Amino acid sequence: MRASRSHVAKGPSLGLATFAVLGALSWCKPGLAEELHTVGEPRMLSEPAEITQVVDAFDESDPFDLDLTIGYGFSRNTGKILRETNLAGPEYSSGGYTRGTLKVAKYRETTNRLLTRAAVGLYRDLALIIRMPIILSNDRRLDSYDGSASDARVTEGAPGEQLFSVPFRSPTRSGIEYLALGVDYGILNQYRERSNPTWIVGLETRLNVSEPMHACNPNSASGQVTCADPGDVNRNGRFDASNVDSTGTIPIENSSIKSRSEGVSRGVTGLELHTYLSKRIKYIEPYGGLRMLAEFPTGSSDYGLTDLQYSLVNHPPLLGTMTIGMAVIPWEIRDQFQRATIDFRFESSYRSEGRDYSELFDALGSSPAPSLRSPTWAEYHAGTNGTSVIDPTSQRVYFAGLTDIESHIINRASVEVTWQAARYVKFALGTALTVVQSHIITFDQACNANFKNDISEAGPCRKWTGDTSNGQPVYEVTGVPNPGYREVINAVGRRYRVDDSLGFDGWANATVMF
């Protein structure tokens, strides 16, 4: 939407735009910055807010536009990890009900990124966007929370075992986060038709180009694999004779398993849709918009371990975001292409329930505890006397650290200062604060209630009706066993949650505009 790079020609009127957040702004009186130019006048700076800018091509006297941006981003996320308990005691509960106040650990994650972006004009108000964020370093750690390191209950698994230890440090990860290819299109342009707001829509695909993240414990005991394969039950780099594949075949005993790296990407292909609308009124430009992100696991990720018929949740969460904001332009010299802009923005996101990388991903995924390391069976079948028993020919399901995370709200407030120093150069500096709603991060349930047709496949997912028939109890089927369920972390009274989660972001970038 770079009218500043070409003569601004008045196009056919498209009428007023209706938009859910800022539709009323479409009839507001435009400011002086939106005045049209006559033929022969020198070109002037006349661009919308950063969020609705679209580079274009094949415009009058400006056949091609290209923006190249490079920047640095820093983020730090903190939170408190708690665990449910029904222990009696004033600091936990009075007994008889579950309370999630057992202190486990303080979580901290620090990430440094190199931000690269290219925007290529394809046609008038149509641009191709290429982004590739590169993670320079990602560090995660769990620290003792009010003496939790000496409290065995916070990491207790089955009797006599510990799921992980506190403090815990994850490996440092680095590499390409994803490669994003997108298209932005300006449906309406205030600088082509004064009565219209500026309205863009866009689509972005995020491609996984790096090794997906794998749960690792760089402080594992001597002789144990740092990043063990989920099928490596003993974490020694070898198969166990009791392991079987989906056909029931036992592999060669003690044959080796390839060791894995820590990885850096999410192991998904993302699809993002977004739309934003803005309207400049003198020295301010309010805007609003919506964004939706859906992710689909790749074959190389550990999502496939729970991609089974009876799995209750085996997909990443969906993320929907509403954005409102205002760009304030306190200073500009239009004929010299100079401008200072202060952008105030608020975003509220809803993250649906889904399987994801939680704050305990490495700690739980690299656990040596048999209750997590040992596989479960994918299916049940009919046994004797009307029972339902494990099907030993079904696939074994291994735990890799990905857990079902409860839906929650994410709120983010940011401010960014942009200085366009000249016609072809601009700089930006910004910061943001994120507040995340408290949520459970081991949310899986024992039974999948979507399947209630066959009692022979119900396993423990049935309850006695109180009646008998031919001397046998009559059961009501409540579902089928969820193969991703692990009682030691998913049962009510043993689940983990994240509270007081905050995020701080800072970034700086420079853009060259050709």
Beta-strand relationship, 480-481 and 447-448: antiparallel
Instruction: For residues 451 and 497, state if they share a domain.
Output: no
How would you classify the pairing of strands 408-422 and 425-436?
A: antiparallel
Q: How many domains does the chain have?
A: 2
30 and 122 both lie in a single domain: yes
Q: Are residues 397 and 454 located together in one domain of the fold?
A: no
Report the candidate in 161, 140, 201 with the shortest Cα–Cα distance to residue 362.
Answer: 140
Q: State the sign of the Cα–Cα–Cα–Cα dihedral 365, 370, 372, 377.
A: positive
465 plus 364 within the same structural domain: no
Is the same domain home to 187 and 136?
A: yes
Q: Are residues 468 and 384 in the same domain?
A: no
CATH number for the domain spanning 222: value is: 2.40.160.40
User: Are 137 and 225 within one domain?
Assistant: yes
Residue 366 phi/psi, 5° resolution?
A: -100, 10
The secondary structure of 344-359 as a DSSP string is EEEEEEEE-SEEE--T
Q: Which percentage of the chain shows pLDDT scores above 90?
A: 60
- Closest among 360, 497, 493 to 440, alpha carbons compared: 497
Greatest C-alpha distance within the chain: 99
Confidence at 330, pLDDT banded by 50, 70, 90: very high
Residues 119 and 162 both lie in one domain: yes
What residues have CB less than 8 Å from 154, skipping those under 6 apart?
83, 102, 103, 104, 105, 148, 166
Give the percent of the chain with pLDDT over 70: 83
Beta bridge partners of 85: 99
- pLDDT of 332-380, one tens digit each? 888 888 999 999 999 999 999 999 999 999 999 999 899 999 998 899 9
Residues 152 and 58 both lie in one domain: yes
Q: For tokens 């620090």, what's the residue?
A: 110
One-character DSSP codes across 408-447: EEEEEEEEEEEEEEETTEEEEEEEEEEEE--EES----SE
Provide φ and ψ at 446, rounded to 5°. Answer: -70, -35
The confidence score (pLDDT) of residue 22 equals 40
Do residues 232 and 266 both lie within one domain? yes
Range of the domain at 248: 3-446+482-513
- Give the residue-averaged pLDDT of 216-229: 82
**Tens digit of each residue's pLDDT (9 = 90 or more) over 28-68:** 444 444 444 444 444 556 688 899 999 988 876 677 889 99
Residues 449, 482 contacting (CB under 8 angstroms): no
- Residues 308 and 456 placed together within one structural domain of the fold: no
Both 9 and 25 in one domain: the answer is yes
